[in-house]
Amino acid sequence: MALVLTGVVVLDCSEPEKLAAFYKDLLEAEETDAAANVVEIRSPDGLRMAFRRDAKATPPSWPRPENSLQAHLDFLVEDLDEAERAVIALGGRALETKDASGPFEERGYADPAGHSFTLRCVRSTAPKMG
């Protein structure tokens, strides 16, 4: 039997309900637990995230060096433009959206509490069949 059964990514923030709603909508997840100071969600592919209340939480400053990275998340998407529109509509903001052309295109964003994440589009380099 494994020593660790599963893992949960936990982000500290001042408003866990608000941040959980952002990621719940972005990931099409379901809320699995909510208490006074923490909200947990699980995405259809099994990713578990929790959002813990910390009244003194300070948003990361990335890409500026001071207090820059507290955590970084990468999400794979099929369509970067569509995913970007969803992030902005849900209250996220663009940090770095320069097109990195090629099969590994990615763009940087911040959630409503300031945590950075990347949307990555990994396109197949194999020729289409049929």
Write out pLDDT tens, residues 15-25: 999 999 999 99
Beta carbons within 8 Å of 80's beta carbon, 6+ residues apart: 105, 106, 107, 119, 121
Q: Give tens-digit pLDDT for 101-115.
A: 555 688 889 999 888
- Residue recorded with tokens 């849900």: 90
Domains of the chain: 1-56 (3.10.180.10), 58-130 (3.10.180.10)
What residues of the chain score a pLDDT lower than 70? 1-5, 62-71, 97-104, 122-130
- Adjacent-strand bridge partners of 40: 33, 50
**What is the pLDDT at residue 55?**
87
Instruction: Identify the pLDDT of residue 15.
Output: 93
**Eight-class DSSP state of 23:** H
